[in-house]
Structure 1
């Protein structure tokens, strides 16, 4: 049966591969991106987030079956805070009412294995408090402090998003409404966003020293698309609040037994 999916970040990388896979399987995809998509919206702004919801409602006729909140930035900037956390949460919360008409509603967001890295605690607290002004201010301070402090921005936003998913998934608004909400945590995927880390053999060797991926190393976005497609399919009826690491083993190497 054909389903209607909303995929953010659909113009490139994981989002593009996921949209293509779903369309190959006969589903309808409403792609969202800053350019080159069905819905053009800047998720770093309140206006862009509102545009996303309004245009998806118009294009879908008011009912969708799944949300894939995949859009993200990897730069050490305040914009990464705005898109990766506040944009993702606004996508999920804003589109959630449109899932009410689906017989099998599903939602998933793209986090990252970088969520395992030590966060900037002040930024993390602002994110979890949903204080966008404070979070953007702290991100500005980290950028001003130099490359090393600013490098914590990305992982901190992804840890905050993972925590938000864990907290929101079991609530009446999500689980209580029959909507499985989950996240994925990819390792290093060969996309335009990671080109600086995957473009040469030397770069790949260097990044794998930081992100150990013993199972087949760096992989293609299509591999992530298969997981996103399953998580948002009718088959996934009971996974709730899980962050699924598709990372070639990074989580197992870094955390070991710490999940027990």
Structure 2
């Protein structure tokens, strides 16, 4: 029987590549985005998150097999906090009950190798505490200096997501319910989010100085989509709570064997 999956951020980049790949494999995909999607919802708002869940429930008939939480922003603004962390967590928590009827439920989110970069300890702490009001207020303070403190916002949200996965994956709500919960952490991917940075050779080289990718360099979205598809597929029965770097070697270069 064909699986039914939900992909957020489905209108562009990694989300679009994931949706198209799953459809090519015969799956039914409910795409979610601000526009050009089956479900149009703004994940930066509580209303939009509730609308996502309600719309998916109606379109799916109340049961889905996988959630791919891909939607995200990279701007030095509080909206990045609202979408990247709280929108992602609300998507997974809100759709989790719809996974329970599947014989092989799966959940995957997109973090980033940016989680290894400098972040704001206070903001990360507020994310861990699920304090959205406090986190948005802290982001507003950081955003006043976009090139310095504002640049910490994106990395902080991705670090927060990686930690959330590690905390949640082995709990009764996820592993105990038979749902593998994992994350992928891309390096530099050629998407609309990075287009301005990699449009020139000088820009690409500068970015690769901070995000080294010795294996094949900057990747296309389909590279991440293939990994997402496996993690969210029936074959993945035991990968649990992992942050899998698909980054051309950035994690290896930056951390070496320090993680062990």
Contact 2:76 2:146 in 1 (8 A): no
Match of residue 100 from structure 1: 100
Match of residue 112 from structure 1: 112
**1:64-79 maps to which residues of 2 (within 5 A)?**
64-79=64-79
- Aligned alpha-carbon RMSD (Å): 0.6
Cα distance in 1 for partners of 2:7, 2:83 equals 14
Match of residue 25 from structure 1: 25
Cα distance in 1 for partners of 2:145, 2:38 equals 38
Match of residue 59 from structure 1: 59
Cα distance in 1 for partners of 2:147, 2:119 equals 15
Shift of residue 145, structure 1, vs aligned partner: 3.5
* 3-state DSSP of counterpart to 2:148: helix
Shift of residue 118, structure 1, vs aligned partner: 2.1
* 3-state DSSP of counterpart to 1:7: strand
Query: Is 1:175 matched up with 2:175?
Result: yes
* 3-state DSSP of counterpart to 1:172: coil
Shift of residue 202, structure 1, vs aligned partner: 1.3
Shift of residue 200, structure 1, vs aligned partner: 1.5
Shift of residue 203, structure 1, vs aligned partner: 1.0
**1:34-45 maps to which residues of 2 (within 5 A)?**
34-45=34-45
Cα distance in 2 for partners of 1:55, 1:146 equals 35
Task: Give ranges in structure 2 of 5+ residues lacking alignment.
Answer: none
**1:106-145 maps to which residues of 2 (within 5 A)?**
106-145=106-145
Deviations 1:72-109 (A, max 9, x none): 00100000000000000000000000001100000000
Task: Give ranges in structure 1 of 5+ residues lacking alignment.
Answer: none
Shift of residue 259, structure 1, vs aligned partner: 1.4
Cα distance in 1 for partners of 2:122, 2:196 equals 28
Shift of residue 146, structure 1, vs aligned partner: 4.3
Q: Where in structure 1 do 4 or more consecutive aligned residues deviate above 4 Å?
A: none
Q: How many residues align?
A: 260
Relative to 1, partners in 2 of residues 1:70 and 1:146: Cα closer, same or farther, differing over 3 Å? closer
Match of residue 195 from structure 2: 195
Segment of structure 1 superposing worse, 195-204 or 22-31: 195-204
Match of residue 11 from structure 2: 11
Deviations 1:177-207 (A, max 9, x none): 0000000000000000110111121111110
TM-score, normalising length: structure 1: 0.99
Match of residue 231 from structure 1: 231
* 3-state DSSP of counterpart to 1:55: helix
Cα distance in 1 for partners of 2:238, 2:211 equals 30
Cα distance in 1 for partners of 2:15, 2:200 equals 23
Deviations 1:152-180 (A, max 9, x none): 00000000001001000000000000000
Query: Is 1:254 matched up with 2:234?
Result: no
Cα distance in 2 for partners of 1:185, 1:177 equals 24
Cα distance in 1 for partners of 2:197, 2:218 equals 10
Segment of structure 1 superposing worse, 136-145 or 72-81: 136-145
* 3-state DSSP of counterpart to 2:93: helix
Shift of residue 119, structure 1, vs aligned partner: 1.3
